Amino acid sequence: MSIETVVAPLAGRQAKPAGSIVRVGGVEIGGTAVVVFAGPCAVENEEQILSAARAVKAAGARVLRGGAYKPRTSPYSFPGLKADGLRLLALARAETGLPVVTEVMDARHLEQVLACADILQVGSRNMQNVTLLEEVGKCRVPVLLKRGMSATLAEHLLAAEHVMKGGNGQVILCERGIRTFEPSTRNTLDLGAVPMLKRHTHLPVIVDPSHGTGLAWMVPSMACAAVAAGADGLLIEVHGHPARALSDGGQALTFEEFAGAMIRIGAVASAIGRSLA
């Protein structure tokens, strides 16, 4: 199925030709400004998440990301702090004022996650979990919907339609790389997805260059390229000590690297007539 032939009466561009803006905590996603979501892959302890929240806010990020429930390929990898991780995210939000985006893996966790999150993230593994999509569709908070690791753009758009059909129109699409035959990077970051989605949907489109490459040194360049391609925002992993991270340290920027990347990202945004939020 091609995205050109998808029937998406709610998510399709024809439903709102001017485009949609998702608002959270005074931040507009989908407007003229590029919004940066940043923070660690996983919440590990109080000092780690608080220091990361302070650092990304100081550098210009407008939304704090952090995983409390972590779906991992190996059952022996760090699974996240779960409820305690959510509590720490709420603590970071209270101190910094940054709205929080964190993943919900199971409809049974929704009430718990909603108490601490401003944006619900549906991860790559759950993009076609229709039961979960229907449940977040009943919520009245923004949903960050990641593209499945082997999903077409048509399937990504129809996943958004499942959420919106439940009454929740506040959906943000996220390109995070897809699985291909190329082993040099963790995934193949499909930047062509950005203009293609922008052509066929009115929803905001953001890019995750951290999962998209799996390599911290590539993240600033791919973040700049995503902005140049028209992305409305970026989802970037940042950790105080990536070498000691319990999850995905190899793709996380240090605080200093993130601050430098934000300068480059801002310059690219300015060059195409946009700005950082």
Domains and CATH numbers, the chain: 3-276 (3.20.20.70)
Give the mean pLDDT of 254-274. Answer: 98
Residue 167: left if φ>0, alpha if ψ -120 to 50, beta else—which one?
left
- Which pLDDT does position 103 carry in this prediction? 98
* Mean pLDDT computed over every residue of the chain: 97
Asked whether the predicted pLDDT for residue 26 surpasses 90, the reply is yes
Residue 97's pLDDT is 98
List Cβ neighbours of 89 (8 Å cut-off, separation of 6 or more). 43, 49, 64, 66, 68, 100, 102, 116, 117
pLDDT, tens digit, for every residue of 190-227? 999 999 999 999 999 999 999 999 999 999 999 999 99
Does the pLDDT at position 31 exceed 90? yes
Nearest alpha-carbon partner for 38 in 189, 225, 250, 253? 253
Tell me the mean pLDDT in the region 243-267: 97
What is residue 192's predicted lDDT score, i.e. its pLDDT? 98
Q: Is the pLDDT of residue 1 over 90?
A: no
Q: Please report the pLDDT score of residue 166 as a whole number.
A: 97
Kindly provide the b/e burial profile for residues 137-176, where b requires at least 16 CB atoms within 10 angstroms of the residue's own CB: bebeebbbbbbbbebbbbbbbbbbbbbbbeebbbbbbbbb
pLDDT reading at 53 higher than 90: yes
Q: Grade residue 271 by pLDDT with cuts at 50, 70 and 90.
A: very high
Q: HSE, CB side, 13 Å, CA atoms: give it for residue 260.
A: 10
pLDDT band per the 50, 70, 90 thresholds, residue 72: confident
CA separation (Å) from 55 to 37, 46, 59, 219, 240? 12, 14, 6, 17, 9
- Crossing angle, helix 46-59 and helix 255-271, to 10 degrees? 30
The two three-digit tokens of residue 33, written as one number: 């400004």
> 219-251 pLDDT, tens per residue?
999 999 999 999 999 999 999 999 999 999 999
Cβ(57)–Cβ(258) under 8 Å? no
